[in-house]
Structure 1
Amino acid sequence: MSDADGDSPIDPVFCDARRFGSFASAGGWMFGLMVARSVYRDEQVAGRISVRAFAEEAGCAVDRVLRHWNAWQEAASDELVPDAGTLVPGADTELPEGDLWPKYYAAPGASSDRGQRVRAEAEALGASYKKALEITGHRPAMKAAIWGDHQTAEAAREALFSRPQERTATLARALADPDTRKAAKVEQKRVDHLEYVRRALEEKTAKSPAGQVVELGLSADELADERLNAIRDACPDAEAVEQAYDYVQELVERAVRADPDLYVREQRARFTRAFSATSRNIQSIDPDDLMAVADEALVDSLTDLQNRVNDLAATLRAVCA
């Protein structure tokens, strides 16, 4: 069986193909046209039905029909399509390119407070606010994109950490988990040690355990060491960083031991720090609190400490006499 002109069969498959082509090329404009030529807004128009009646017949929300009406009329104000009032029910008209539809069609939630905030942020970034609103309505899909795509995940991290309020809330939530706190400490150690090693390679100096700046005088062989080569990657793993850090510490220790004056200063600084820490800890003890838990074990421990301090003081006096 053929159509009236005998050009092609009257077959539902061919009808669907034609309809598919119309929708594919026009995008949302086809739906906008159906609404614009079929409904009335304020005053009843012969041959048309109300927005509510159209929505009930279509089995969708009234708000959705209104968004299509508003999009059509906004495009009409730009002279892109005819005004809805001039259209004849059931009659077609020339439609714009499909990719222009998103410019006029407001996604659900666009008029809400949240929608307005999303729009303001999108405009500030030069992004499509309608696409942003669409994303807010598909959170499982957004999560999948973050998990599955590195660049999307990086964009999400940048968004969360670029503003103090969001950064604080995100960190507080993450660090509430003990495993995350542990992982954060490990990562912070990796970052700190990596920075230490790379600075040592760049400046050819490094700080000793006592805080002294030590000239390393790195040789070609030392610079070519595989432990240092391993951290030249963009993001070396924790094991590679720790091996490189330990190697630089070895180089620092060699440099300290090779210079007698430097070795003496290093030892003096190390002892001074130890004495200061011990002094602060003892001075922080409240005698009243100590008396509340006093027993022979504590007395013996304190006596042993006092004897050790006296012995060290006597040794120093003998050397300095």
Structure 2
Amino acid sequence: MTTSPDTAPAPEELAAPAAGAVPAEEANVWTEPLAAAGGAAAPVLPSPAQEQVAAEEPGPAQEAGADAPVADQDVESAVRRDAREFGAFARTGGWTFALKVARSVRPGGAPAGQADEPEPKVSAKEFARLAGCSAERVMRFWRAWDRAADDGVVPVFEALAPGVDIDLPDADVWLGYYTSRSSADSPRGQAISAVAEAEGIRPTKALEVAENPTALRAAILADPGTAQAARHALLDRLEDDPELGEELAKDIARTGELSKTVASAARVASSVDFVRDVIDSGEMTTPSGERVPAPEHVVAEAKQHLALIEGLDAEDEAPYAADAQKTMRSLVAEAVDSDPQLRAHERRSRFQGKVRKAAKAFEELTLDDAADLFEEELLEQLETLQRAITDCITELRAAAPADS
């Protein structure tokens, strides 16, 4: 017997499924909820349309400001994309943007033979127009990539194609090739950048200071540490810049107090050098200017004086340095007098030095205008000098060995 579709199912047909049978909902088949055993009406599930309306209408919790989980897949996708791009930039830094320039830009645009490529490269000007920035900024990224390509850090431009990603170096490497200042491309800027890299600092910092001397002056005037750094830099530069040394010397000479300070410091340095020279060379300079080996006790005394001077403060150094030089000169004179051979050599050297000095003075005299030079007193001095020279010659001839 066939049951009509409008006929309700028999009670035995509504019996619970046997144990082990797969529920309809596990089989992904939706079934009408059954009535409760007590005869209560089964809960009515909302239709899909009703669920959408319910979701769009804020409930009491939402009106109260309660947080609800984000179910919008588009928003989640945007967050993931931002996180991925942030991670890429955190790892590679400026290389991320430099790659976009390097693979898309060819200065001057694509040649005529390559203009029909599927995606031809464009000029820096066109790329800047599309990016909404200046062509100069684009070229700074282009030149940074070019420098890195010369060092083999990144591929050359010809190996890159628009839209094709490659593995990029670490972000820290980028700082050694990119500079945000256009002055870095000039010969002066390149020299500053080279010295900055040798000093272990970013070239952009040095270029910024070089472009603003007034700021450098303000820092030197206000900060002792900056002034000390500037002083050391000037001293290092003097070795390769004699003109700067001459200008500094003139500036010091024109400043009264400063010139006195420099003269005093020069005397101290000369005294210390006199003592240190005995230690370093093992020789001493006699009063006549001769260099002879220094006795051990003279070297030991010099070491004691130098150790004392180096342990003093700058303001106490001058008097001790002068006293050390005076003591060392006395020791040298005593060493010369105590050695007969050295004493004779010293006397001979001093005598010869004076004779040569007098002879050189007379060689430089000119008598073209003798009438204008004549003075009775001057003539008497010359005659006295002539007699002294004659007596000196006579004495030396008498002391000459017989065989000479």
Smaller-chain TM-score bracket: 0.5 to 0.7
Residues 102 and 160 of structure 2 are in contact (CA less than 8 Å); yes or no, is this contact kept in structure 1?
no
Where structure 2 has 5 or more consecutive residues not aligned to the other structure, the ranges are 1-64, 72-82, 254-258, 400-404
Question: Which of 242, 251, 254 is the matching residue for 1:171?
Answer: 242
Query: Kindly, what percent of the aligned residue pairs are identical?
Result: 25
Deviation at 1:254, TM superposition (A): 1.9
Classify the secondary structure of the residue corresponding to 1:267: helix
Does the C-alpha gap of structure 1 residues 101 and 142 become closer, same or farther in structure 2, counting only changes over 3 Å? farther
Structure-1 residue corresponding to 2:350: 270
Distance of aligned partners of 1:189 and 1:82 in 2 relative to their CA distance in 1, 3 Å threshold: same
1:285 deviates by 0.7
Q: In the alignment, which residue of structure 2 is the partner of 1:257?
A: 337
What aligned pairs does 1:78-89 form with structure 2 within 5 A after superposition?
Answer: 83-86=161-164
Corresponding residue of 2:387: 310
Shift of 1:97: 3.2
One-letter code aligned to 1:249: R
Distance 1:3 1:31 in 2: 37
Relative to structure 1, the CA distance from residue 272 to residue 60 in structure 2 (aligned partners, 3 Å threshold; closer, same or farther) is: same
Look up the SS of the partner of 1:287 in the other structure: coil
Could you tell me how far 1:266 is from its partner in structure 2? 2.9
Whichever residue aligns with residue 245 of structure 1, its letter is: Q
Q: Structure 1, residues 159-190: CA drift from partner, whole Å, max 9, x if none?
A: 763xxxxx2xx113321442557799887776
Matched position secondary structure for 1:206: strand
Kindly state the Cα deviation for residue 230 of structure 1 after the two structures are TM-superposed.
Answer: 3.3
1:77 pairs with one of 155, 159, 175:
155
How much does 1:33 deviate?
6.7
Does structure 2 retain, via aligned residues, the 8 Å contact 1:27–1:101?
yes
Report SS of the residue matched to 1:85.
coil
Q: Which has the higher contact order (CA 8 A, sep 6+)?
A: 1
1:171 counterpart letter in structure 2: P
* TM-score, scaled relative to structure 2: 0.49
1:204 and 1:258 map into 2 onto residues whose CA distance is: 18
Aligned match of 1:284? 364
Who is 2:138 aligned against? 65
Change (3 A) 1:224 1:117: closer
Q: Any idea what SS the aligned residue of 1:68 has?
A: helix
**How far, CA to CA, are the matches of 2:69 and 2:237 in structure 1?**
59
**Helix, strand or coil for the counterpart of 2:297?**
coil
Distance 2:246 2:368 in 1: 37
Distance 1:219 1:94 in 2: 70
Question: Partners of 2:300 and 2:263 in 1: how far apart?
Answer: 33
Q: Is the 8 A contact 2:94 2:171 kept in 1?
A: yes
* TM-superposition CA deviations, 1:19-41 (whole Å, max 9, x none): 99986665324544776799895
Amino acid of the structure 2 residue aligned with 1:27? G
Structure label with greater radius of gyration: 2
Question: Structure 1 68/184 Cα, relative in aligned 2: closer, same or farther at 3 Å?
Answer: same
Deviations 1:275-313 (A, max 9, x none): 321222122111114444x253xx413422432552575
User: Who is 1:13 aligned against?
Assistant: none
Contact 1:110/1:116 (8 A) holds in 2: yes
> 206, 218, 224: which one pairs with 2:284?
206
| Aligned-pair CA distance for 1:250 | 1.1
Provide the secondary structure at the position in 1 that maps to 2:368: helix
Q: Is residue 2:70 matched to residue 1:5? A: yes
- Higher helix residue share: 1
Question: Residues 124-177 of structure 1: CA distance to partner in whole angstroms, max 9, x if unpaired?
Answer: x995999557734541488879x738789767765763xxxxx2xx11332144
Q: Residue in 2 aligned with 1:228?
A: 306
Is 2:209–2:216's contact at 8 Å kept on the other side of the alignment? yes
- The equivalent of 1:197 in structure 2 is 275
Q: Which moved more, 1:127-136 or 1:237-246?
A: 127-136
C-alpha distance 22-277 of structure 1, shift in aligned 2 (>3 A):
same
Alignment CA distance shift 1:25-1:203 (3 Å): closer
**Which amino acid in structure 2 is aligned with residue 5 of structure 1?**
V
So what's the TM-score if we normalise by structure 1? 0.58
Alpha-carbon offset, residue 102 of structure 1: 3.5
Say whether the 8 Å CA contact 2:238–2:244 is kept in structure 1: no
For the residues of structure 2 that align with 1:221 and 1:116, how far apart are their CA atoms? 51
Whether 2:290 is the aligned partner of 1:218: answer no
| Contact 1:109-1:133 within 8 A present in 2 as well | no
Aligned residue for 2:136, secondary structure, equals helix
CA distance in 2: counterparts of 1:5 and 1:156, whole angstroms:
64
Q: Report if the CA contact (8 A) 1:55-1:65 is conserved.
A: yes
- The AA in structure 1 aligned to 2:380 is T
What is the root-mean-square deviation in Å for CA atoms of aligned residues? Answer: 5.8
Structure 1 unaligned spans of 5+: 7-17, 88-92, 162-166
- Counterpart contact for 1:135–1:142, Cα < 8 Å: no
SS at structure 2 position matched to 1:211: coil
Asked if the contact 2:184/2:207 (under 8 Å) is kept, the reply is no
